[in-house]
Amino acid sequence: MPDTGPLARFRDRLRLPLIAAPMFLVSGVELVVAACRNGVIGAFPTVNCRDTEQLDLWLGEIDRRLQAHADASGHAAAPICPNLIVHRSNARLAQDLAVLLRHKPEIVITSVGSPAPVLAPLHDAGALVFADVASIRHAERAAAAGADGLVLLTAGAGGQTGWLNPFVFVRAVRGFFDGPIVLAGGISDGHALRAAEALGCDLAYMGTKFIATRESMADDRYKQMLVEATADDILLTTAFTGLQTNMLRPSIAAAGLDPDNLPARGAIDIGKDIDIGARENRPKRWRDVWSGGHSTSGVTGVLAVDELVARTATEYEAASARVRLI
């Protein structure tokens, strides 16, 4: 039967059912363009731009480069996917939304709150709206609000994360939601991607492995730390953000903190320091204390996005062939 679901409009432009996850201070123009021209949805947080003017410039540059790729190759690239923080703490929400409405992206992911306030204008602009959710209750609310798709943040996702087992979470959500589901957490290769599909997902996030690519904006030390680390080096803590966050133990130690003796919830306010005077050498979360997911065990080198996607595609095809033989 023909595909008539929400993803039908661009499914033939996807090499893999994969989103290069939107990552704070990591996802930029180079990473998004490289992902999209390789048939992977390229996502980025709008707050990675210093202001709305830069967001407008980024979107224009991405569009121009992907159109040039399409003209040269004869194949349209995968969609770009801005990630919009909808929490009231995002003072730029209205301005960033206005920029997105002008550029008309095919997909927008909302995070840290209900997608309800932005659904109508984004739908009017032709965008699918996917909502980040970390619990079954959040998923029910986002679905009731009219989200087109749900991104399930499960245990093992890098940065601010979920806590539910992905098998339980996906199957519970499939009980009441028949739209696109994106699995976030633990997708380290094409085998895991194929397993996510078998579980009932339409797409999956891959984040940590894209941090360790040449095109990411991450510090080279960060990339090398991921290569050297395993899942055992990931620490789930509320000390830095007040929310459950997966961080790299070696980066915590390098910042002069003891990973096994961190203060109480949200007590380390290093993310709000101003880099002036006596504070200029204090560590900052995300800049000096880095996040990572359980899939860091799959990071074995710093690759170009071309190579990472090619390897993942080979693994995905091998996993698909094995499933057909069972």
Domain identity same for 65 and 156: yes
Band the pLDDT of 274: cuts 50, 70, 90: very low
Same structural domain, 239 and 318: no
Are residues 56 and 40 both part of a single domain? yes
Strand arrangement of the beta sheet that strand 245-248 belongs to = 159-160, 245-248, 234-237
DSSP labels, 14-44:
-SSSEEE---TTT--HHHHHHHHHTTSEEEE
Judgement on whether residues 251 and 195 belong to the same structural domain of the protein: no
- pLDDT surpassing 90 at residue 60: yes
Q: Under 8 Å CB-to-CB from 207, ≥6 apart: which residues?
A: 20, 21, 23, 157, 158, 159, 184, 293, 295
What is the identity of the amino acid at 15?
Answer: R
Considering the entire predicted model, what is its pTM?
0.92
Q: Please check whether residues 177 and 236 belong to one and the same domain.
A: no
1, part of any domain = no
Domain count of the fold of the chain: 2
Share of the chain above pLDDT 70, in %: 91
In a domain, 290, yes or no: no
Burial category of 256 from C-beta neighbours within 10 Å (exposed 0-12, middle 13-18, buried 19 and up)? exposed
In a shared domain, residues 224 and 211: no
pLDDT digits (tens, 9 = 90+) for 125-155: 999 999 999 999 999 999 999 999 999 999 9
Asked whether residue 156 is assigned to any structural domain, the reply reads yes
Give pLDDT, residue 264: 72
Domain of residue 168 covers 6-216+301-325
234, 129: one domain: no
Q: Is residue 265 part of a domain?
A: yes
Please tell me whether residues 137 and 99 are part of one structural domain.
yes
- Which pLDDT score, from 0 to 100, does residue 272 have? 43
What DSSP line would sit under 297-324, residue for residue? Answer: GG--S-B-HHHHHHHHHHHHHHHHHHHH
Which band of pLDDT confidence, cut at 50, 70 and 90, is reported for residue 277?
Answer: very low
My answer on whether 208 and 249 are in the same domain is: no
Identify whether 65 is part of a domain. Answer: yes
Mean pLDDT across the stretch 184-198? 96
Q: Could you read off the pLDDT of 202-260 as tens digits, one per residue?
A: 999 999 999 999 999 999 999 999 999 999 999 999 888 888 899 999 999 998 899 99
Cα–Cα dist 295/299, whole Å: 7
**Are 163 and 253 in a shared domain?**
no
Residues 248 and 318 grouped into a single domain: no
Cβ–Cβ < 8 Å for 217, 28: yes
Please indicate, yes or no, if residue 27 is contained in any of the structural domains: yes
pLDDT band (50, 70, 90) for residue 280: very low
- Residue 101 confidence (pLDDT): 98
Chain segment 284-312, per-residue pLDDT in tens: 555 789 999 999 999 999 999 999 999 99
Q: Find out whether 244 and 238 touch, Cβ atoms under 8 Å.
A: yes
Domain holding 64: CATH number? Answer: 3.20.20.70
Residue 146 and residue 238 in one domain:
no
Q: In this structure, is residue 144 part of a structural domain?
A: yes
Which residue type occupies 105?
P
Does residue 20 register a pLDDT over 90? Answer: yes
